[in-house]
Amino acid sequence: MSPSDDTPAAPLSGVTVVDLSRYLPGPFAAHLLASLGARVLKVEEPTLGDPVRFAPPFVGGRSALAAPLLAGVESVALDLKKPAARAVLEDLLEDADVLLESSRPGTLARWGLEPETLRRRFPRLVICSLSGWGQDGPVAGRSGHDLTYQAVAGTLAPTATMPAHPWADLVGGWSMCGSVLAALVERGRTGAGTWIDAALFDAAVHANLLGWAGDADRPRAAGEPLTLSGALPCYDLYRTADGGYLALALLEPHFWQRFCDALGRKDLRRRHLDRSSATRRDLARLVAARSREQWATFMAEHDLPGEPVLSAAEASRHPQLLARGVLRRGADGLPRLAFPARFDGHRPRAGDQMPELGASTSAVLAEYGADGARKGRKSGVGARFSLKRWWMRRLAGRSA
């Protein structure tokens, strides 16, 4: 079958996910599951909802981060601090396959919704609990963010600089998604659900694979680069003549030799894996002699692994990105991300629409016959809330 994105693949069609998570990693996992065809019921606090809705930048009153994360899910507004809303949640879980949650350890227990209790009541339910440090251990109850999980896991050490992206959050979201898929496969064999303890710290430790390997022969200090994080001059970033950057990735000997020969610098052939500052200076001077586009042409002509460093805007126009179809724009002009793999030529993707807070509350409660459908806000069941009106009040300096 020839590659096509016209008919999205939906391998998780028929799977229902109830998502209580907030911020980035949990909603990212939910987005991946929605892209694979699952129905995702996102349960949000009725007044403001998931804080990711307020992550800058804003375009047309909408968060450019929330748009791709929440596209294709259904928003149900429930105040889980209230018993009636918790009863509605349990109605949703009666037919759900997966529950995602990202509360601090012990939070669900205070609401009478601890995983052990839920598993007894809903034995087929797959519960994935995401936390920063994990459900146990000496710092399990501590606060944290992506940066602190990476700091303790060692992933920041090779460069000792701010990471380009929140890798613990992103890898943690993938860990949640993969764990849920494995649990669903297991349930297909045994008929029983499971409780998954997913930690952003654990994900960061896993992402530090090269760090653990690099530290095997001798301990390395923070700020000491590894082979693939700046230790090798042949594998690094260099400034070009026009102020841009070139990513040079000449790890293999045949690429290095071809590079040296094409430049008429056979004297550099023996310095392939040399880590000296002299070799780095020589390469910096070579790269600085041409513009970014000249290097792009040179690398393509000689089939060498070297590419100009593109901004996000430039990357969005790259012909390979356009051909693969992972990134697209929604009707609101904000980014949408399809699943980064094709199934028999078809790429899974979530729906285009980013729901307003609580947009599906009435419809979902009516579908499930939940008692709270007639009780309104006093029961903790939120009516549809206008995020735009709230944001306009905030901008005007008035209280929400």
| 137 lies in the same domain as 252 | no
- Judged against a pLDDT cut of 60, whether residue 376 lies above it is answered with no
| 44 lies in the same domain as 191 | yes
Q: What is the CATH number of the domain that holds 38?
A: 3.40.50.10540
| 69 lies in the same domain as 144 | yes
CA 223 to chain centre: 26
| 110 lies in the same domain as 24 | yes
| 335 lies in the same domain as 300 | no
| 281 lies in the same domain as 180 | no
| 144 lies in the same domain as 60 | yes
CA geometry: angle at 208 spanning 202 and 213, to 5°? 125
29-37: average pLDDT:
97
Rounded-to-integer distance, Cα 45 and Cα 36, Å: 26
The residue length of the chain stands at: 400
| 114 lies in the same domain as 260 | no
- Judged against a pLDDT cut of 90, whether residue 88 lies above it is answered with yes
- Judged against a pLDDT cut of 80, whether residue 374 lies above it is answered with no
Last residue of one domain, picked from the residues 308, 338, 358: 308
Instruction: Among 80-89, 237-246, 353-362, name the most confident range.
Output: 237-246
- Judged against a pLDDT cut of 50, whether residue 385 lies above it is answered with no
Domain count, the chain: 2
Taking CA atoms, 215 is separated from 91, 210, 227, in Å, by 50, 8, 11
81-108: average pLDDT:
92
Rounded-to-integer distance, Cα 316 and Cα 296, Å: 17
pLDDT category of residue 368 using cuts at 50, 70 and 90: confident
220-230: average pLDDT:
89
Last residue of one domain, picked from the residues 278, 308, 338: 308
Q: pLDDT tens for residues 164-201? A: 999 999 999 999 999 999 999 999 999 999 999 999 99
| 286 lies in the same domain as 367 | no
pLDDT of 76: 96
- Judged against a pLDDT cut of 70, whether residue 381 lies above it is answered with no
207-221, 226-240, 256-270: lowest mean pLDDT where? Answer: 207-221
Q: Which domain holds residue 78?
A: 16-209+328-395
Residue 238 lies in a domain: no
| 188 lies in the same domain as 253 | no
- Judged against a pLDDT cut of 60, whether residue 383 lies above it is answered with no
Whether 282 and 268 have beta carbons less than 8 Å apart is answered as yes
pLDDT category of residue 393 using cuts at 50, 70 and 90: very low
pLDDT category of residue 257 using cuts at 50, 70 and 90: very high
What's phi and psi for 203, nearest 5 deg?
-65, -40
pLDDT of 396: 35
Q: pLDDT tens for residues 326-359? A: 999 999 999 999 999 999 999 999 989 999 999 9
Alpha helices in the chain (DSSP H): 25-35, 66-70, 83-95, 107-110, 115-121, 146-153, 167-190, 200-207, 209-214, 253-262, 277-288, 292-301, 312-315, 319-324, 361-368, 387-395
pLDDT category of residue 107 using cuts at 50, 70 and 90: confident
Q: Peptide bond preceding 308: is omega within 30 degrees of 0, i.e. cis?
A: no
Rounded-to-integer distance, Cα 155 and Cα 212, Å: 10
Q: What is the DSSP letter of 98?
A: E
296-300, 319-323, 373-377: lowest mean pLDDT where? Answer: 373-377
Q: Give the predicted TM-score (pTM) of the model.
A: 0.88
pLDDT category of residue 322 using cuts at 50, 70 and 90: very high
Q: Which residues contact 3 (CB under 8 A, 6 or more apart)?
A: 342, 345
Last residue of one domain, picked from the residues 308, 341, 357: 308
Tell which residue, 329, 338, 351, has the closest CA to residue 5: 338
Residue 364 lies in a domain: yes
Residue 8 lies in a domain: no
Tell which residue, 337, 250, 338, has the closest CA to residue 298: 250
Residue 199 lies in a domain: yes
Q: What percent of the chain has pLDDT over 90?
A: 80
- Judged against a pLDDT cut of 70, whether residue 157 lies above it is answered with yes
Whether 218 and 149 have beta carbons less than 8 Å apart is answered as no
| 195 lies in the same domain as 275 | no
| 155 lies in the same domain as 263 | no
Residue 321 lies in a domain: no
CA 205 to chain centre: 16
pLDDT category of residue 5 using cuts at 50, 70 and 90: low
Q: To the nearest whole number, what is the mean pLDDT of the chain?
A: 89
77-90: average pLDDT:
92
Rounded-to-integer distance, Cα 78 and Cα 381, Å: 5
pLDDT of 382: 53
Residue 286 lies in a domain: yes
